Amino acid sequence: MRRVGVVASGQASVVEEPLERLRERAATLDIDLVEMEAPGDPGSDSGVDLAIALGGDGTMLRALHRFLGTEIPVLGVNFGRIGFLTSIPGSQLDASIGRALAGEFKVVELATIDATLGGKRHAAVNDVVATSSTPGRMIALRATLGDEDLGLTSCDGMICCTPSGSTAYNLSNGGPVMMRGLDAMAITYVAPHSLHARPLVVPSGLRLEVSNQTPGVPVAVLVDGQAVGSLDEDEELSVDVGAQRAHLAVLPEVTFFSRYREVFLGAVSS
């Protein structure tokens, strides 16, 4: 490990001191530490062997987007609230970061989602959400999957998520949890006005087409929480499993289920 990139949370007061400790540790190991902006130029690796994200899941998503199209893995140190995608608790930075800098980590490939809106493609690491642009107004979405019509559904919105995004907004709306490593996406309606609208898990190769059938109410489209556009009546959004992969670095003992227990079952077991 000769050159390591760092993407830090925008909350400088939270990460300023840990960042200084990381600089000191890298210097003792003769590692060139490069502080990098995210978002930066997607696919630009600046010659780094590893990227370290200091922050929560938001910082992790920005870092994973930053290195899409490269093989650079991103390791997270949690200084946020949940940090499901992170590998090292902030309190264990000093005890664990030396292992990572010595190359003691494994890399997990994460599926992405491609959303096409107005002829422009957007890559999502977590999810693509179509939701009413008017708070409190229900929308009507027509969906087709491949050549199959899924019908017209009145709802507050629709979530299309990757396996790594399945434990976020999707989970809070009753959607399925998917293990990392699956080449698939889940489709979950938000508050559907229907007894028959159920979450679906679909493989790659099946494109979802969603059209807004709500007179006078645009549908906002968000990719990983960022607004990228909207759908007027009869306009369409296309979503499918992407060809790109994000690369998540985790310590050897950190697994999907160990993080799942810590984050979601900790309150129950305690």
Closest CA to 246 of 55, 43, 100: 43
Q: Check 30, 57, 94, 224 and give the catalytic one.
A: 57
pLDDT tens digit string along 223-257? Answer: 999 999 999 999 999 999 999 999 999 999 999 99
Q: What is the mean pLDDT of residues 182-187?
A: 96
57 classed as catalytic: yes
Instruction: Fill in the amino acid letter for 23.
Output: R
**pLDDT for residue 265:** 77
Neighbouring-strand partners of residue 131: 157, 220
Same domain? For 116 and 18 the reply is no
Same domain? For 87 and 154 the reply is no
Please give the C-alpha separations between residue 2 and each of 8, 68, 102, in angstroms, as whole numbers: 20, 21, 10
Residue 207's domain is classified under what CATH number?
A: 2.60.200.30
* Predicted TM-score (pTM) of this structure: 0.91
Same domain? For 74 and 146 the reply is no
Residue 163 near residue 246, CB atoms below 8 Å:
no
Count how many domains the chain has.
Answer: 2
Residue 101's domain is classified under what CATH number?
A: 3.40.50.10330
Q: Give the structural domain span for 219.
A: 112-243
226-231 and 219-223 strand pairing: antiparallel
Same domain? For 73 and 160 the reply is no
Secondary structure percentages of the chain, helix, strand, coil, to 5: 20, 40, 40
Same domain? For 233 and 131 the reply is yes
Residue 133 near residue 219, CB atoms below 8 Å:
yes
Please give the C-alpha separations between residue 212 and each of 107, 179, 193, in angstroms, as whole numbers: 39, 31, 16
pLDDT tens digit string along 43-64? Answer: 456 789 999 999 999 999 999 9
pLDDT tens digit string along 101-113? Answer: 999 999 999 999 9
Please give the C-alpha separations between residue 56 and each of 26, 89, 180, in angstroms, as whole numbers: 22, 10, 19
